[in-house]
Structure 1
Amino acid sequence: MATDSIKKAKNGTYYFRANLGYGSDGKKIQKYRSGFKTKREARKAYSQIILEKSEVVQRENWQEEEEELSFKQYVEEIFLPWYKSQVKDRTYDNRVSTIKKHLSYFYRYAVSEIEPIHVQTWQSKLFKTLSATYIRNVQGIFSLAMDRAVILGLAEQNPSKIVGNVKKQKTKIDFWTKEEFEQVLSVIYKEDYYQHFLYLSLWFLFMTGMRIGEATAVQWEDIEFDTGVLSITKTLYYKNLSYYEFVEPKTKASIRHIVLDEDTLKELKEWQQRQRSVVKTGFVMSYNGQPTQKHTMSRAITRYAALAGVHRIRTHALRHSHASLLMQMGENPLIIKDRLGHEDIETTLGTYGHLYPNSNFEVATKLTGILKQTSSQTNLDRSPKNQFTVGYLGEK
């Protein structure tokens, strides 16, 4: 079976010839299709024929070809089209390049040839440059691809499951303390319009704990200044300036209300007035009428962290910073869970529980002296004596 079966005709359309095996008379069985406007359409049709192959072989009593389906062809023509139909568009767009990059290690093999030793060698190679968490995610997709191959009869077993995924490691939570964030704010010049926008954006993220996609989607109409309530009902899927849209939040728990503090409301009102003098837009985090891109915040963090002399953090770490601040203030984990939009308390405690400052020592301090220390001056217990204690401590 050819590795690249899709061909381009002189008129710009695409065609393919699928070799399906041999009939009982020994003649080669082929299917030819042409006239596809795009290569993607041709691949979809080709994949469908390949998927139906086993049924046709059984019905027509054909003999299978000896040549095996390559993993590269399987990924590009069968797995990826199926995977795209199973996940959200933004999820597919975010992962497709990763899939092609890291799963290409197996392109040298046929689907049925991939063995556990190949997977283990691949893991070891990835460990040289990537984190355990990242490798777990990549292998999870590879395992999904092999599970699908087993279902389709292209492989007898999933070698990824035999080897097992890499051990899960607890990710170190990075964040800015209140003092570090104050240092960052101190080097931003709010009199400059663009720096004012960055000041407000960083403040907004730090003081609410929103995910970046949630924050960039916030509209002015989502904020009730009278009550101080911010409604989070959507997130922003940003592909480029020409294509972005509002989509459903990460989980049902992500749809929530956050009560804003007076200082944040003051900063927002100040920015709203400044923004309206320059551009008309519904986006809170915008200086030019367009939604803010993730890398805009990332670059700002890099620049001002260096000016302030504090360590650089990722944009998502501003969410961690908010959680850390609340825990240092002694807030109830259930309140933090709701504010961050976690689905369950286990997620909150599992991620941030260790950030409670010296909590065990504080508990010990609170327990000291809480009980009145008294004991009987006479023996009131006339029950039978324990054979091992007779003769000790005055017992007879």
Structure 2
Amino acid sequence: MSNDAIKKDKNSLYYFRANLGYDINGKKIQKYRSGFKTQKEARGVYSKLLLEEPETASEVTPTSMLFKDYIEEIFLPWYKSQVKIRTYENRLHSIKKHFSYFYKMPVDKIEPIHVQNWQSQLFKTLRVSYIRNVQGIFSLAMDKAILLGLTQKNASKIIGNVKKQKTKIEFWTKEEFEKVISCIYKEDYYQHFLYVSLWFLFMTGLRIGEATAVQWEDINFKTAVLKIDKTLFYKNLQHYEFVEPKTKASNRHIVLEEDTLSILKEWRKVQQNVAPSGFVMSYNGEPTQNHTISYAITRYAKLAGVHRIKIHALRQSHASLLIQMGENPLIIKDRLGHEDIETTLGTYGHLYPNSNFEVASKLKGVIQMSHSITNLDHSPSNQHTVGFLNQKN
């Protein structure tokens, strides 16, 4: 729903003007409603009117509705009610930016060739995984348009989404990570914070939102157990909140090893003396922003002479380390908070190449080799070996 759709009059009552489509002459059909005591009440009537009116208003020609009007006035209000608010806000910019390609077209005039050309344009600058996500939402929008009678076909599904590509996993090896942290001067308070943050992410495999949400009360230093039951949605310094983890499997417990516990204990003591905070990853009393960690990775990777990685790659580095240690995939699945083992193997399975050699080494000598010194099988010889046997005799 457009932020400007619901307005307040001089009597502090809410009103709106809804665009419902076009008449046979191409003129917009609008409905005005007013007198609502709350914005929530006005929004409810607004959304209901948008979704129901096109089906009952005889003067409206739904199929002539421009895609821009459909997205802004019908699809987005509905979509916002279907997903988590952080998901909606994270995707809103991408939707408006990339859907604008179709904005001047009537919904029912979007053809497969238009989608094909759109894909080609996106391919010039964007990753395949990103394009797939954007087109997935576009297909959802077109499916909803069919349901509302605005079009009879989903051109996106006719063309199909772009082919999924295997994502290349980037990570730091143990040796590379050691080079990076060796460049950090812990006697400096801020660098000490960065040291702890990079170590915490590398040694736990937490998603960045999970890590920044961790508070001291989530760590039981006696049992060495870290509880993960929330993630941090950070919009700006004035607006951040705890939200539910990505999946049910994301609610989990991680056992921390002694080195990490020791580093965290030391940091808690320093932090509480300088800028007390309930957040583990905090140097100023507030939760850490992603770009702070990203910038630290860039800076210290350069100092250490290793390749730069993204924040999420610290999680992948943890998984890679566990794989190199020969850890069971099921344990890695639980530690990372994956819903199923297919996700773990599908993402990190190719990091197991040396396992084949290890298995081959372990198989050596397992079976005792022996064979008969006389022929115990007097059944007819295979026709393809008769000649060979006669020559040998």
User: Please, what TM-score do these two structures have when normalized by structure 2?
Assistant: 0.90
Give yes or no for the alignment of 1:95 onto 2:91.
Answer: yes
The range that moved more, 152-161 or 361-370, is 361-370
Q: 1:6 to 1:354 in 2, by over 3 A?
A: closer
Q: Is the 8 A contact 2:232 2:243 kept in 1?
A: yes
Of residues 253, 272, 275 in structure 1, which corresponds to 2:271?
Answer: 275
Give yes or no for the alignment of 1:111 onto 2:107.
Answer: yes
Which residue of 1 is the match for residue 180 of structure 2?
Answer: 184
2 CA distance for matches of 1:168 and 1:387?
50
Which residue of 2 is the match for residue 375 of structure 1?
Answer: 371
Deviation track 1:313-365 (CA, whole Å, cap 9, x = no partner) reads: 10000000000011111111111111111111111111111112522222223
Of residues 212, 217, 231 in structure 2, which corresponds to 1:216?
Answer: 212
Offset of residue 51 of structure 1: 2.8
Which residue of 2 is the match for residue 295 of structure 1?
Answer: 291
Q: 1:102 to 1:44 in 2, by over 3 A?
A: farther
AA aligned opposite 2:56? V
Secondary structure of the structure 2 residue equivalent to 1:388? coil
AA aligned opposite 2:17? F
Of residues 230, 238, 242 in structure 1, which corresponds to 2:234?
Answer: 238
Please give the residue correspondences for 1:138-287 in structure 2 after superposition, counting only pairs within 5 Å: 138-287=134-283
Q: 1:17 to 1:169 in 2, by over 3 A?
A: closer
Which residue of 2 is the match for residue 365 of structure 1?
Answer: 361
Please give the residue correspondences for 1:26-105 in structure 2 after superposition, counting only pairs within 5 Å: 31-34=31-34, 48-57=48-57, 62-65=58-61, 68-105=64-101
1 CA distance for matches of 2:29 and 2:127?
47
User: Please, what TM-score do these two structures have when normalized by structure 1?
Assistant: 0.89
Which residue of 1 is the match for residue 127 of structure 2?
Answer: 131
Q: 1:22 to 1:184 in 2, by over 3 A?
A: closer
Q: 1:161 to 1:199 in 2, by over 3 A?
A: same
Give yes or no for the alignment of 1:340 onto 2:341.
Answer: no
Gaps of 5+ in 2: none
Deviation track 1:203-237 (CA, whole Å, cap 9, x = no partner) reads: 00000000011111111111111111111111111
Task: Count residues in correspondence.
Answer: 384
Deviation track 1:152-192 (CA, whole Å, cap 9, x = no partner) reads: 11110111000000000000000011111111101111001
Offset of residue 66 of structure 1: 8.5
Gaps of 5+ in 1: none
Secondary structure of the structure 1 residue equivalent to 2:379? coil
Offset of residue 381 of structure 1: 0.9
Q: 1:310 to 1:158 in 2, by over 3 A?
A: same
Q: Is the 8 A contact 2:54 2:62 kept in 1?
A: no
2 CA distance for matches of 1:35 and 1:277?
55
2 CA distance for matches of 1:96 and 1:22?
29
Deviation track 1:115-173 (CA, whole Å, cap 9, x = no partner) reads: 00000000000000001111001000000100110111111011100000000000000
Secondary structure of the structure 2 residue equivalent to 1:140? helix
Offset of residue 279 of structure 1: 2.3
Q: 1:129 to 1:154 in 2, by over 3 A?
A: same
2 CA distance for matches of 1:164 and 1:196?
49
Of residues 315, 326, 329 in structure 2, which corresponds to 1:330?
Answer: 326
Which residue of 2 is the match for residue 389 of structure 1?
Answer: 385
Deviation track 1:257-308 (CA, whole Å, cap 9, x = no partner) reads: 1111111011001001101111222111111111111111111111111111
The range that moved more, 222-231 or 362-371, is 362-371
